[in-house]
């Protein structure tokens, strides 16, 4: 069997329908959408505006509220730093969470060096932040709450509508990094009180290097100080020549995701549950990380006790998954997200994230179950820790001696 791809939260393959929509904009319709003097530019601008509408529709926004970016990292930085600078006179306090993606954590840490104060909320053991926690952290000088819609490692979904309502009540802007949720679960920026939202095309079968930032235009009109200058493109928020083929791909991917969301979320959730059922039937000492109910339909994060995640991945090399944090997995530190849930190093190190996608099949899931079960059993057979635990020895009470 060919290699199986179960790392869709890292990136997705481009859907053939998306590629088809993009191709003309590399060759025939190659104009610069900012060239207003001829038909080449007009055709490109028309394509860009169509894509705005396609993306806006997925989140219940207006097309004029969509600003093109190179992806969610830029979107998060533009939202967080843009708000911080624009509203500095009102206050310099921001609320976020310790298990956000680095693309939110790092800009917040940068702002701390610029005289801003950030409150870092800790999640509960399921990876959730409550509206109550946000309420308690709010102050008179709070200008922004930034919390991800759904966690990239464990799939937990925050109570976004409750947090949004609270922010509206207090006159605080609310930004959500919706990279993992966009196109997978229903989002309505008005019903949920979201003022700014970041998304990336490559998580929904679009091309890499393109994304969008939703910026609310009324009630309230959100203003951002740009972090890129040079021509005032995108309502002055994001200067630079637009990536027209990428934007067309982002729009097409968004339209397909919206049309297929209902059936696709049911299908991937069934496959995810089939995977968990198969693993838990054949293996003991395994557990799901995150919220078993409020989570993305495609994400399953499992800890396999007494097995090291990196070794486990090598044991089934034909299946692409991720261990620990996907974007920082070059380090062998245990995932800060899992540590943030209160997991010990042993469980955090033994975790694997399976993220399913549009082209994942039942056969692939069944093959994965077989391969993972065999690899876990093989590694546990070699593990003295597993042997001791099976013999009823409490490993937490063992005093290890070094000679």
State the catalytic residues. 327
Identify the three-state secondary structure at position 139. coil
Omega of the bond leading into 302 within 30 degrees of 0 (cis): no
Characterize the bridge pairing of strands 351-355 and 211-215: unpaired
Element (H, E) at 134: helix 131-137
- CA 321 to chain CA mean position, Å: 16
CA angle 332, 325, 362 (to 5 degrees): 120
CA dist., res. 204 & res. 253, Å (int) = 6
End-to-end CA distance of the chain: 47
Beta carbons of 149 and 180 less than 8 angstroms apart: yes
Helix, strand, coil share (%) of the chain residues, nearest 5: 45, 15, 40
Upper half-sphere CA count for residue 189 (Cβ side, 13 Å): 32
Beta carbons of 275 and 368 less than 8 angstroms apart: yes
Beta carbons of 109 and 77 less than 8 angstroms apart: no
Nearest residue to 212 (alpha-carbon basis) of 187, 186, 246: 246
Beta carbons of 301 and 286 less than 8 angstroms apart: no
Beta carbons of 361 and 146 less than 8 angstroms apart: no
């Amino acid at each position: 069997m060919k290699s199986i791809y179960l790392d869709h939260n890292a990136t997705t393959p481009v859907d053939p329908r998306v590629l088809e929509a993009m191709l003309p904009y590399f060759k025939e319709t190659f104009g610069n959408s900012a060239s207003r003097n001829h038909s080449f530019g007009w055709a490109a601008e028309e394509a860009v505006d169509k894509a705005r509408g396609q993306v806006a529709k997925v989140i219940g926004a207006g097309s004029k509220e969509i600003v093109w970016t190179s992806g969610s990292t830029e979107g998060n930085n533009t939202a967080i730093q843009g708000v911080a600078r624009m509203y500095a006179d009102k206050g310099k306090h921001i609320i976020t969470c310790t298990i956000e993606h680095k693309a939110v954590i790092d800009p917040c840490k940068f702002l701390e060096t610029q005289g801003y104060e950030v409150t870092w909320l800790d999640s509960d053991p399921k990876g959730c932040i409550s509206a109550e926690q946000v309420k308690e952290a709010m102050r008179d000088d709070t200008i922004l709450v930034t919390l991800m819609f759904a966690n990239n490692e464990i799939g937990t979904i925050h109570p976004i509508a409750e947090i949004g309502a609270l922010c509206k009540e207090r006159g605080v802007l609310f930004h959500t990094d919706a990279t993992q949720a966009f196109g997978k679960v229903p989002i309505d920026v008005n019903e949920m009180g979201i003022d700014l939202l970041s998304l990336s095309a490559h998580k929904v079968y679009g091309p890499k290097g393109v994304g969008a930032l939703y910026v609310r235009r009324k009630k309230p009109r959100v203003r951002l100080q740009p972090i890129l200058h040079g021509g005032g493109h995108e309502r002055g928020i994001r200067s630079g020549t637009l990536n027209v083929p990428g934007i067309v791909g982002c729009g097409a991917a968004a339209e397909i995701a919206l049309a297929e969301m209902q059936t696709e979320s049911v299908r991937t959730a069934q496959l995810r549950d089939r995977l968990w059922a198969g693993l838990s039937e054949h293996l003991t000492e395994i557990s799901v990380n995150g919220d078993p109910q409020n989570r993305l339909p495609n994400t399953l994060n499992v800890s396999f006790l007494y097995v090291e995640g990196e070794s486990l991945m090598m044991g089934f090399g034909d299946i692409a998954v991720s261990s620990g944090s996907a974007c920082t997995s070059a380090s062998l530190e245990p995932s800060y997200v899992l540590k943030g849930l209160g997991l010990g190093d042993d469980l955090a190190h033994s975790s694997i994230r399976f993220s399913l996608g549009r082209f994942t099949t039942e056969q692939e899931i069944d093959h994965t179950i077989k391969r993972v079960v065999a690899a876990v059993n093989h590694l546990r057979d070699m593990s003295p820790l597993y042997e001791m635990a099976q013999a009823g020895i409490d490993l937490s009470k063992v005093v290890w001696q070094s000679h």
